Amino acid sequence: MGQVVQAQTLPTVAAASDLKFALDAVAARFKQDTGQSLRLVFGSSGNFKTQILQGAPFHLFMSADEQFVFALADAGKTEDRGRAYAVGRIGILVPPGSPLKADGELQDLAAALKDGRLRKFAIANPQHAPYGTRAQEALQHAGLWSAIQPRLVFGENVSQAAQFAVSGSTQGGIVAQSLALAPAVAKTGRFALIPEDWHQPLRQRMVLVKGAPLQARAFYDYLSTPAAQAILVRYGFAMPKE
């Protein structure tokens, strides 16, 4: 019973799924440094925004797109307008044995669309996942969006898209660099960054939900420390300039 009660009273962080490996590492370091635990829930930022608007019991929201934080602030759901914590990147991830090359300029992807090598390609759902929106923008920049749409497999979030990309159920996908750099993924695929000027910036912002407990506030502050930032940088995130 004690464990159930503890789980219910732990501060809950709703985090964009591109943070899956990086934030697990930050939370472990936070516990090591402070003795405090957290509950981490990963998913798509757009879905979390909707859930928080509907009163979901999250205390800290770490979005992959700052616009979702601003929307919650405008709706009066947050303590303030939050703080930028990272800038993300996208790239193409291909599994072993794929006929695709890990080519950040997507020239081989264009050729594969024409010569029939490409059957299925994964991205996060652009309707609610920021990394999916940025993948769509990059494919549009490369002039491939119309041709590739019939072959797209949508992940509920970018972590699921990465699973599709390396599992062999697709020939590859466009995913977060932070996931591709994680040892578990890096061993199972080849990755190449897409030029950052091919899409809008992935400015990631976090905010405390109104009424957040002290532990959530402590973690919010901890994320701006050199120890936490060093872990995020290790996973390919850039630090915001604000």
Pairwise pLDDT comparison (70 vs 167), residue with the higher score: 70
203-238 pLDDT, tens digit each:
999 999 999 999 999 999 999 999 999 999 999 999
pTM here is 0.93
90-143 pLDDT, tens digit each:
999 999 999 999 999 999 999 999 999 999 999 999 999 999 999 999 999 999
Tell me the mean pLDDT in the region 62-73: 98
171-209 pLDDT, tens digit each:
999 999 999 999 989 888 999 999 999 999 999 999 999
27-49 pLDDT, tens digit each:
999 999 999 999 999 999 999 99
Q: In whole angstroms, what is the distance from residue 157 CA to residue 159 CA? A: 6
125-135 pLDDT, tens digit each:
999 999 999 99
Domains and CATH numbers, the chain: 2-87+202-234 (3.40.190.10), 89-198 (3.40.190.10)
DSSP run (H or E) holding 84: strand 83-88
The pLDDT-based confidence of 8 (bands split at 50, 70, 90) is: low
**Phi and psi (nearest 5°) for 68?**
-70, -35
How many other CB atoms are found less than 10 A from the CB of residue 132?
A: 28
Residue 119, SS3? coil
- Per-residue model confidence (pLDDT) at position 184: 87
Angle among Cα 179, 72, 4 to the nearest 5 degrees reads 65
Angle among Cα 184, 60, 12 to the nearest 5 degrees reads 70
